[in-house]
Structure 1
Amino acid sequence: MPPSSTANTAQTLTGGRVYRYYDFVMAAFVTVLLCSNLIGAAKAAQVTLPVLGPVTFGAGVLFFPVSYIFGDVLTEVYGYGRDRRAVWAGFAALAFATFMSLVVLRMPVAPFMADYQKSLEDVFGNTWRIAMGSLIAFCCGSFANSYVLAKMKLWTGGRWLWTRTIGSTLAGELVDSSLFYVIAFYGIWPLEKVVQVAIAQYVLKTGWEVVMTPVTYKVVAFLKAAEHEDWFDRGTDFTPFRVRV
């Protein structure tokens, strides 16, 4: 571990370390999480690919993997503890969005808005299931992603960043995709479609991580230089059930 990293570890644990960009990265992480889960998750899209033919997938797949990229960046630069804080911030934001949608949909509607109310219910009527699936799958998948990346960083001595960004995503997205579609859409979609979309989601999400690896490298390099930080999770308490770093 570089000397500056050792010093920064001690300072952060005592509350004396202030980062320039951590709050911005966390805010971007939460924003992507909310939008991809509440806007994109309810729609199944379909494209026709060479060899594979028609492939059905959740529309949110275009954006949700970005939250995993932010998770990789947070763990790689700031450590598992600060990524854990971001995960719980995302959990709280998604829980509030779910509560708000349920309250708004159940409020008495003005007569001239009756048709619009039906449209809202068509789009957000199963929001509670989508949100429940998102909350459970997101937490389990994100913590798996962060844990694997942090451990792989120790095993590799900080080398070969691509192995841990891709490896951690393979683990995290497997957990996420396995849980989300079963919880959110079982009984709403045909079972074979639930399985088909979950598999397509997993392949596409992990593929996104591979494609975005050069961007991840640039963001990580920029933040490490700007923050003078390159966190190694030696002695870290990896329990997910805490917010304090």
Structure 2
Amino acid sequence: MTGTIQNIDGVSGARRHFRYFDYVMAAFVAILLLSNLIGAAKLATVGGFTFGAGILFFPLSYVIGDVLTEVYGYANARRCVWMGFGALIFMAFMSYVVVAMPPAEGWDGQAAYESVFGSTWRIVAASVLAFWAGEFVNSFVLAKMKIITQGKHLWARTIGSTVFGQGVDSLIFYPVAFLGIWTPQQVLTVMVTNWLLKVLWEALLTPVTYAVVGWFKHREGVDVYDTGTDFSPFAKTEAV
């Protein structure tokens, strides 16, 4: 079952095609791939704080995830999570294939190429598992909080869902990817620091989230409440 779809004026509406859903999903997947391709494995230190470089834009995927759940409902956000999951696996597979191909004679960039794109199986597995679990927790918490708050206090559910979603993401990713490679202290420091920074990012972006959510709700003319939704990650999702 899917959630109740209401028009902005409160009148129940039938399930229909959304004008902007495909664009939001594309942005979600693009940011997800970029965050894992560019910043997942790099440690950076700025102002005495050590953190993973992906922190610069990865939280945007959670903001978009919040918009997806808030505007289109958990069932449609679930579709995007599975799309992102498949895209991550495809990216990892193609990265492996391209890096493994014998370099042409005279091309001396193989070592640098391997350094940038040759992620270990641990990082790949950690990225995929952490994203999958974290995004579903994020969407679940936001959808449930929306029902509890009766659609009020958007800031509370976007930040609250990030606390839990990013917490699960960080708890999976850093130990699986780097424990034994980094020292336990480094893993713990980066895990906690990145979690705090991601939550802070979400809080700072609250005005943006309000503006974006309001714009999409007005343009789409809907406000979804997941009162009858099957929250299983494996439930069948109807097409929008």
Q: Structure 2 length as normaliser, TM-score?
A: 0.93
Corresponding residue pairs, total: 233
* Structure 1 or 2: more helix by fraction: 1
Whole-Å separation in 1 of the counterparts to 2:103 and 2:5: 60
Contact map agreement 1:102 1:128 (CA 8 A) in 2 = no
Question: Can you list the C-alpha shifts for 1:70-89, whole angstroms capped at 9, x where unaligned?
Answer: 01000000000000000000
The answer as to whether partners of 2:43 and 2:52 remain within 8 angstroms in 1 is: yes
Amino acid at match of 1:91: F
Other-structure match for 2:43 = 44
2:212 alignment partner in structure 1: 219
Contact 1:19 1:227 in 2 (8 A): yes
Of 222, 225, 229, which residue of structure 2 is paired with 1:232?
Answer: 225
Identity of aligned pairs, percent?
A: 55
Pairing 1:154–2:147 present: yes
Tell me whether 1:167 sits opposite 2:160 in the alignment.
yes
Moved over 3 A (4+): 5-8
Task: Quickly say closer, same or farther: Cα 1:2–1:89, change in 2 above 3 A.
Answer: closer
CA distance in 2, matches of 1:207, 1:127: 30
Amino acid at match of 1:141: G
Contact 2:6 2:223 in 1 (8 A): no
Q: Distance in 2 between matches of 1:60 and 1:47?
A: 14
Match of 2:23? 24
d(CA) in 2 for partners of 1:2, 1:121:
48
Aligned residue for 1:194, secondary structure, equals: helix
The TM-score, its normalising length taken from structure 1, stands at 0.91
Q: Which amino acid aligns with 1:200?
A: T
> Considering only aligned residues, what root-mean-square deviation do their CA atoms show, in Å?
1.5
Paired residue for 2:93, among 88, 96, 99? 99
Given residue 102 of structure 1, which amino acid in structure 2 is its aligned partner?
Y
- Mapping for residues 135-214 of structure 1, pairs under 5 Å: 135-214=128-207
Out of 76, 90, 114, the position equivalent to 2:70 is 76
User: What's the offset of the Cα at 1:125?
Assistant: 2.5
Q: Distance in 2 between matches of 1:90 and 1:181?
A: 20
Task: Identify which of 106, 112, 117 aligns with 1:112.
Answer: 106
Q: Tell me, which stretches of 5 or more residues in structure 2 are unaligned?
A: none
Whole-Å Cα distance in 1 between the matches of residues 100 and 71 of structure 2? 43
State the structure with bigger RCO (CA 8 A, min sep 6), 1 or 2. Answer: 2
**Unaligned ranges ≥5, structure 1:** 49-53
Q: Hey, what's the Cα distance between the residues in 1 that align with 2:149 and 2:26?
A: 29
What are the residue-to-residue correspondences of 1:55-74 with 2, within 5 Å?
55-74=49-68
The within-5 A match list for 1:120-131 is: 120-131=113-124
Higher mean C-alpha deviation, range 234-243 or range 82-91: 234-243
C-alpha contact 2:99 2:113 (8 A) present in aligned 1: yes
Question: Alpha-carbon deviation of 1:3?
Answer: 5.1
**Counterpart Cα distance in 2 of 1:90 and 1:127:** 20
1:122-149: CA deviation from partner (whole Å, max 9, x where unpaired): 2223243222111100111000000000
